[in-house]
Amino acid sequence: MTPNERPAVVLVTGASGFIGQALCRRLGAADHRVRALLRRELDGPWDEVAQCRLGTDPVPAAALSAVDTVFHLAGVAHSRGAPEELYRQVNLDGTRMLLEAAVEAGVRRFVFFSSVKAMADPPPEECVDEGWSAWPEDAYGRSKREAEELVLEAADKAGMHAVVIRPTLVYGPGVKGNLLKIMRLVASGWCPPLPDTNNRRSMVHVEDLCDLAMKAAWDERASGRIYIAADDHPVSTRALYEGLLRALGRSLPRWRLHAGLLRLGGRLGDLAEGVLRRPLPVDSAMVSRLLDSACYSGRRAMEELDWRPAHDLLSGLPEMVAAWREPVDWR
């Protein structure tokens, strides 16, 4: 490299989130120069910041200057009540704008973080893989599925190495979202003893997810492929509940709430939502996440990319609880 040449840069969108920060730390530790694409200037585990509101602002040319690889995590997360227009604006149109700018700038690699919600929910007794092609039923899933197709088609035309990662529920120290809510609820003592329905919920540790994304970015075998990120140990909600109690130093209750009562509460919540016209903490969708299965196989990535998840949820719960009790600055 001559004195006037700049090193190649890795761009990470959504860098300030739970997964984004972990990925930036891993990239920095591997001696990559990391540029974060954020809505506003923030300090974090990156070398520099470019500002842009994806889906609203044009992507500045400077954001992609000298960029070799893009890891695209930014998007509107799956949540109740968000309008479909918002999902499409950020998850689909924002991806299109970033992708067009990346092609124009000559970016060589593009890793898109999608979601298993880009597929319809698996059948109750099956553990599905990337061949499960049923179309998602909600607006979030549709926006992710359409963005996946956009990335792979555009990259194929441009000769760009592009990969789609579909994470299952992501866990680890500093976790956000539903797992944090469950942890807080169990810690509060207000969580009823959950029944054992022998359901299977697939998850992946944030460090294993980052490992897969980095392997997929620089392994030519991954070009044009879709990979589910899930470890080999799906867990039941009851096992999660018991594991959290142990990690919190609590004893297990001697009784359990009947699954039928929970499902009845969910249906009543649906009725109340219809009357009040606003989401409530308990409805059928929430109860389904507690009682039903959502099992996904990560075998394709393991076989094609030699990816080996190093964590499992139950053994990682004490670390998660400790990080929640004594929060640190994960940036």
Helix axis angle, 237-248 to 313-325, nearest 10°: 40
User: 31 in the Ramachandran plot: left (φ > 0), alpha (ψ -120 to 50) or beta?
Assistant: left
Residue 57 belongs to a domain: yes
Residue 274 tokens, joined: 């219809």
Q: Could you tell me the pLDDT band of residue 286, with boundaries at 50, 70 and 90?
A: confident
**In the block, residue with structure tokens 């891993």:** 26
Question: Do the domain assignments include residue 138?
Answer: yes
Look at residue 132 in the predicted model and tell me its pLDDT: 96
Counting Cα atoms < 13 Å in the Cβ hemisphere of 201 gives: 22
Give the per-residue pLDDT at 1: 40
Centroid of chain to Cα 302? 18
What pLDDT does residue 7 have? 58
pTM: 0.94
H-run or E-run covering 255: none
Asked if residue 262 is part of any domain, the answer here is: no
- What tokens does 149 get? 């197709």
Q: What is the pLDDT of residues 158-203, one digit of tens each?
A: 999 999 999 999 999 999 988 998 999 999 988 889 999 999 999 9
User: In this structure, what token pair is assigned to residue 98?
Assistant: 């970033």
Segment 94-106 shows an average pLDDT of: 96
- pLDDT per position as a tens digit, 270-283: 999 999 988 888 89
Count of domains observed in the chain:
1
Q: Which residue has the higher pLDDT, 257 or 21?
A: 21
187 belongs to a structural domain: no
pLDDT at 327 (0 to 100): 67
Domain range for 79 is: 9-172+202-232+295-311
In a domain, 89, yes or no: yes
Alpha-carbon gap, residue 306 to 288, rounded angstroms = 33
Percent of the chain with pLDDT over 90: 85
What is the pLDDT confidence band of residue 329, given thresholds at 50, 70 and 90?
low
Please report the pLDDT score of residue 279 as a whole number: 82
The string of DSSP letters for 184-200 reads: HHHHHT-S---------
Whether the predicted pLDDT of 80 surpasses 80? no
Domain contains 161: yes
Residue 168 lies in a domain: yes
91, part of any domain: yes
What's the confidence (pLDDT) of residue 278?
87
End-to-end CA distance of the chain: 31
- Strand partners of residue 38: 51
Residue with tokens 């990470």: 12
Q: Domain with 91 in it: what CATH number? A: 3.40.50.720
